[in-house]
Structure 1
């Protein structure tokens, strides 16, 4: 799968592209597995592209079957009022030369005249291989996509199409625990993305469904990111030019803040102190620059009173990286008389370090705030402290 390692150094040129004016458009970044009936996500994409009749270019470059994926996405977008069309630039598109198609000025012109561009899921490495020249510069098609964003259009993507939004993306990633156990390296687990979201924010996807919040941490530390957003499945975040984030769709997104975090260099295994973790629910808004939170309409007036907690119970999990586990623990902790929660993650057979596990400690302190929905069993949780330390795992003495 090393489709971009040969050009790794040159891809840095892409991320460091010549200075441009701040884009006037919006990003719609979905965490993967967006259902066809998710009107919140698809409807907003069409709206941001210009509303009913908006032209949206579908980029199936990441898909295993680009022809099928492109046609399916076009049909979905047209159902919600768009006039979508598939762009045939994909490494795996049979009978075509993607290097020639990526430089086709007719294709580039059709994209430039659209109100939005949408990247399918699949293998994010195939997107950068198809759209970035070997010297790291933008192909004609990629430049046209940037032009859409610069002039005020929307750039969207799901799963692989979300990964490429960052200037750094996961590529050949190990298991979540594996990334903590042995670290991440440029050209292996990490590779340059297309950078639509800028250089100051790391984005990851399939977050809660696959417990990926933990793998964001070594990547963010390695590349110097202070903020990271991990989006769950069937959910999207919208980021505008003012760096305001809005959550739409089924669930929400985790916000990681490492501004005040530190590591113990004397400890050889991964560790982290004083990271901050927040959960933004659907309908919530958050400004990445000012760190100001605006609750969804159903949470207005729903700020929790820490002096009157609903629960008084221990919060613990032996499967911290399980499906939705971190969110369940955060929800229990924010409305609890107790101020700490402990989650454990241990290696599976075949992981690179079967003797290594990790303890995740969540702490509710004076900076932590919670909001509760008046209409559903839903919370927003802001600024829990998170500390991670390694554990030595002893295997059974018998075979």
Structure 2
């Protein structure tokens, strides 16, 4: 009996110790990273001073060590060298990490587990991912069982200790826990839907599990393809950043927009779909445009205007325009922003945009109507120094349309 009691006590003590260990691990895993993210929407020009200078600043200032990851690039050698040279021109001490599936004469799996490479990254103040194919980033840095390679863990260590993780295009796509992988066209995505393992794949998750990130947003009309992905994976918030533009997300979940243009914020917290309609549909989504210099808190929902818009809140009871707002191609370059700007300062409270597939695309008889509505929750801010706006909280409804094409066979 004495032996049995001792055994039970030993088991109980072990269980308590294991539980305590699990709690410690859980707390460690749940602790928010101390660093910042710099997420660029692609096509960042070498002369976009504010983006490159901010990246260097967040990495520690002049002389900061920044690890360049060319894993996604079609030509990793050239892309890595060009990015390192650009960063060095802005005062960094950048170096290329040779971990890439398409790097010639290299075993990317072995390189990703190289402790010497991992140590060099861990000692840096920042990491920057090149653009290209985001699938090659996860292939190079994530083990087949889903765990982190030594190099990926080192990147996380930089982020956790207060460094900056940056990336453009593909380097932006991997920031959220879900990313587009083998994506169709925007219309094809709306028409056929999205599936895990095909159109969607796991990202690296630096931005957390509560926010979906996409890139090339306004230039390629990709706001529309964010919607089915967000619904599929139950994201309530999505941020899409435009080209030559970046958003900085701090450890306190404060977003700041810098660069050439802005970002679209999608809020699906009150959105609904009609299951009786088989095609994609959505009601009561919310869409906002955050312009450069604007700040937005992802936790509180508080918006802080850029310095040139502090006194520029629009009086929606005194609109400047009084015209019908319609476009036959809402997915065209910048078009969704054009109609948002017209709507926020208009006597009419609705804007209609149509999206149809080009001839020959699968399901080319299917189109979609996007209706944007300004209501009591909407607000707008105008810059005092340029023709620029911030537009907050427009309602967006999407419904399918059947398209007849008599002009071609």
- Coarse TM-score class (shorter-chain normalised): over 0.9
Q: Is 1:218 paired with 2:207?
A: no
The whole-number CA distance in structure 2 between the counterparts of 1:392 and 1:105 is 57
The verdict on how the C-alpha distance between 1:18 and 1:178 changes in structure 2, with shifts beyond 3 A counting, is farther
1:232 equivalent in structure 2: 242
Which of 163, 166, 172 is matched with 1:153 structurally?
163
Matched positions, count: 384
1:93 aligns to what SS in structure 2?
coil
1:53-132 aligned at under 5 Å gives the runs 53-132=63-142
2:12 equivalent in structure 1: none
The whole-number CA distance in structure 1 between the counterparts of 2:49 and 2:357 is 39
1:9 equivalent in structure 2: none
Shift of 1:22: 1.0
1:123-272 aligned at under 5 Å gives the runs 123-272=133-282
2:224 aligns to what SS in structure 1?
helix
2:59 equivalent in structure 1: 49
Which of 354, 359, 369 is matched with 1:359 structurally?
369
Which of 331, 339, 343 is matched with 1:321 structurally?
331
The whole-number CA distance in structure 2 between the counterparts of 1:37 and 1:227 is 31
Give the TM-score of the pair, scaled to structure 1.
Answer: 0.95
Structure 1: any 5+ residue segments left out of the alignment? 1-15
1:188 aligns to what SS in structure 2?
coil
The whole-number CA distance in structure 1 between the counterparts of 2:180 and 2:198 is 9
Shift of 1:19: 2.3
Q: Is 1:395 paired with 2:369?
A: no
Structure 1 consecutive aligned stretches of length 4 or more whose deviation exceeds 4 Å: none
Shift of 1:349: 1.8
- Deviation per residue, 1:240-263 (Å, 9 max, x gap): 011100000000000000000000
The whole-number CA distance in structure 2 between the counterparts of 1:347 and 1:336 is 29
Max Rg structure: 2
The whole-number CA distance in structure 1 between the counterparts of 2:325 and 2:247 is 29
The whole-number CA distance in structure 2 between the counterparts of 1:287 and 1:216 is 20
2:39 aligns to what SS in structure 1?
strand
The whole-number CA distance in structure 2 between the counterparts of 1:80 and 1:47 is 10
- Deviation per residue, 1:313-359 (Å, 9 max, x gap): 00100001000000000000000000000000011123221110000
CA RMSD in angstroms comes to 1.2
Q: Is 1:25 paired with 2:25?
A: no
The whole-number CA distance in structure 1 between the counterparts of 2:99 and 2:357 is 40
Shift of 1:398: 6.9
The whole-number CA distance in structure 1 between the counterparts of 2:139 and 2:360 is 31
Shift of 1:17: 12
The whole-number CA distance in structure 2 between the counterparts of 1:350 and 1:45 is 43
The whole-number CA distance in structure 1 between the counterparts of 2:114 and 2:173 is 25
The verdict on how the C-alpha distance between 1:136 and 1:120 changes in structure 2, with shifts beyond 3 A counting, is same
The whole-number CA distance in structure 1 between the counterparts of 2:370 and 2:27 is 38
Structure 2: any 5+ residue segments left out of the alignment? 1-25
1:340-359 aligned at under 5 Å gives the runs 340-359=350-369
2:48 equivalent in structure 1: 38
